[in-house]
Chain A
């Protein structure tokens, strides 16, 4: 039986100190100097923009060095029986769901031969969703290592629903609510302007802390204008694709060739990814089935649509909306090698279907 090898994902929390202490105590339990226990601290980046900023990385390194300092401190006289390692994970990937985090940790478990994961009860890598419970479930499904929460004294504080807000946030919400009120109302009399101002104020003041995910920044008006430019382009793509797909459906001689594909899209962040995935689905012939990090699993109906997807014109347009004109000039997913047909046309492909026995039975039953 090897000694305890423990993986601890860390983030800036009030219970980190106690979690480190617990992990060290558990790792030292049963460790000898010729067979030292291991505590591996990992920090997961969650870039919200194109790349990880140096500031983010420094913050991560700071947390990691603090954790390893604490670990050495806690080991005290038994320092020789404990190995402490640190690592930063997920720099090159866009992490946005508990299963992404679990996948990263799973790789770590395999790479470092970990046999136990200790979770901080307040662990939150900042991906913008309550995480702990779904992460525990995912880890239990994916790995066969023990996963437990560190017992801490402090009462656990759950992820707050209310976020910080700013004057700009309130202002944006007020403007949206006011314009929406006037549109639905449609009369623009003095009475409506007064009641509209009143209700928009109430909405903005009471709901600004729950309805905006991030603070509005100076780039927002520019992105809105670029979004408006994007709409006619998207409409053109939708109509063109609709005509091609309609022809395929109405003409029995034109064959379909549906295949599942995977594309690694070069957009990052919840809103850009959603925009791209929705645009892909709106265009007939391509349909986003799953989003795993930056990888979109797309079902394509006909080769024409598949080529369009691999040429990445929609991806470029979405990059234009969120990152500006300069970002449009990137190679297509095909040139980057970021495309993959998950169901390649081979002879063996049919093997994935029903086994011969059942198939005979069902066909026989139908006749």
Chain B
């Protein structure tokens, strides 16, 4: 009985992890510019990897490697925002203007902007 519940919880965690990774992928494809995409790209790391590692922790149970899995999560939670910040900061330094709803640039313009470093923005 306990085994079944645990297996169920593990499967649920993995499915949720996959779901959030999927959402993150859809977001990267759908959202307009580098800043909005950075928001959703980090979702795959935080909850996607988070749930996957929670699944690993559940399947390992209480033993020494479990602590390593938790440490893994800690490092992801420290490095993920740092990377997102580094990417958007360099975009900001390149002078790339963030897209807003008032903005009538199309995605083609945004791509051109990204190539020229926002010089014609």
Interface on A for B, CB 8 Å cutoff?
Answer: 183-187, 238-239, 242, 245-246, 249-250, 255-260, 277-282, 284-290, 297, 299, 301, 343, 345-347, 349-350, 352-355, 358-359, 362-363, 365-366
Per the bound structure, the CA–CA distance linking A285 and B109 in Å amounts to 24
- Chain B, residues 100-121, CB within 8 Å of chain A (1/0): the string is 1111111011001100000011
- B110 nearest CB across to chain A (Å): 9
CB within 8 A of B84: which of A287, A301, A354, A362? A287
Contact B31 A249 (CB under 8 A): yes
Interfacial chain A residues near B40, Cβ < 8 Å: 245, 249, 284
Tell me if B6 counts as interface (CB < 8 A to partner A): no
A-B interface contact total, Cβ < 8 Å = 151
Per the bound structure, the CA–CA distance linking A260 and B64 in Å amounts to 44
Interchain Cβ contacts under 8 Å between A and B, 13 examples = A183-B68, A246-B20, A260-B35, A284-B46, A287-B85, A287-B88, A290-B89, A299-B35, A299-B98, A354-B112, A358-B109, A362-B106, A362-B112
Interfacial chain A residues near B102, Cβ < 8 Å: 343, 345-347, 349-350
Contact B46 A355 (CB under 8 A): no
Contact A353 B46 (CB under 8 A): no
Per the bound structure, the CA–CA distance linking A187 and B26 in Å amounts to 43
Q: Of all chain A residues, which has the CB nearest B23?
A: A246
Contact B81 A284 (CB under 8 A): no
Contact A354 B109 (CB under 8 A): yes
Contact B20 A281 (CB under 8 A): no
- A269 nearest CB across to chain B (Å): 18
Contact B88 A186 (CB under 8 A): no
Per the bound structure, the CA–CA distance linking A61 and B92 in Å amounts to 38
Q: A238-B47, A282-B46 are in contact. Are A250 and B26 (CB under 8 A)?
A: yes
CB within 8 A of A289: which of B26, B35, B77, B105? B35
